[in-house]
Amino acid sequence: MNTFHLMFAPMEGQSDPALREQCYNNGATSTFTEMARVAALVRNNKSTWEKIDIPKEIPTYIQISVVNENNLARFLHKFEPQPGFLGFNLNLGCPSPKVIQKGLGCALLKRTAKVQRLIKIIQQHGYSASIKMRLGLNQFEKEKKVYLNLINAVDADFFIVHARHGMERDKDAPDWSVYKECVATGKNIIANGDITTKEQITELRAIGCKGAMIGRAAVEDPTIFARLK
């Protein structure tokens, strides 16, 4: 990861192919599909397969939510990459109680051995595997530095660190102080959470982040990528 990456975030109900294309045309280096549950893909759920469709050759990571290794292997066996596909991104950030109850999203943050196995399965199929994560399921896990354990223990191609824990809402300020220690692991770190200005990009570059991911600000105005370049 040599150049600084500007990524358009996975966003349920928002990051459809049309908006992904708009973000790309405005300078986003890559885009993400909204989260798709692998259990539903394995069941051949039509609307879930539509979520991961890449109808035009736009650089796109497919975001998946999975805990069961057999399901992941079954899905990957069926999967055929379309032009534009860059790799898979594992969701370790969704804080929804329904998702947590299934052991997915933020619930996976502390399961480092499990996450490493999931990432390895994807990589063994020849695909890039990255992670999008929060700092922990809650304040306690954040204080225990669950995020740092995970980054150290898992060989993902890059880690998108949304600098909030799972109990924090969008109005709570993200904690940018974590990026320095995340970067010190030597892994590829992408920052996420309330990034809207060129000054912030300059700060993140100085810390050593390899990129920034933009969500809500890009939904409001996809030309933000052109301004941040």
Ligand X SMILES: Cc1cc2nc3c(=O)[nH]c(=O)nc-3n(C[C@H](O)[C@H](O)[C@H](O)COP(=O)(O)O)c2cc1C
Binding site for ligand X (CB under 6 A): 9-12, 14, 34-35, 63, 91, 93, 132, 162, 192-195, 214-217
Minimum CB separation from ligand X for residue 193, in Å?
A: 5
Q: How far apart are CA 168 and CA 112, in angstroms?
A: 22
Q: Which residues contact 202 (CB under 8 A, 6 or more apart)?
A: none
Residues of 140-155 as b/e, b for ≥16 C-beta within 10 angstroms? ebbeeebbbebbeebe
Strand ranges in 76-121 using DSSP code E only, listed in sequence order: 85-92
Minimum CB separation from ligand X for residue 214, in Å?
A: 5
Closer of 10 and 136 to ligand X (Cβ): 10
Closer of 132 and 187 to ligand X (Cβ): 132
Minimum CB separation from ligand X for residue 34, in Å?
A: 4
Closer of 141 and 168 to ligand X (Cβ): 168
Q: Which of 186, 188, 209, 200 is nearest to 228 (CA)?
A: 200
Q: Which residues contact 159 (CB under 8 A, 6 or more apart)?
A: 130, 131, 132, 133, 150, 151, 182, 187, 188, 189, 190
3-state secondary structure of 98: helix
Minimum CB separation from ligand X for residue 48, in Å?
A: 12
Minimum CB separation from ligand X for residue 72, in Å?
A: 17
Closer of 119 and 195 to ligand X (Cβ): 195
Closer of 2 and 202 to ligand X (Cβ): 202
Q: How far apart are CA 154 and CA 109, in angstroms?
A: 11
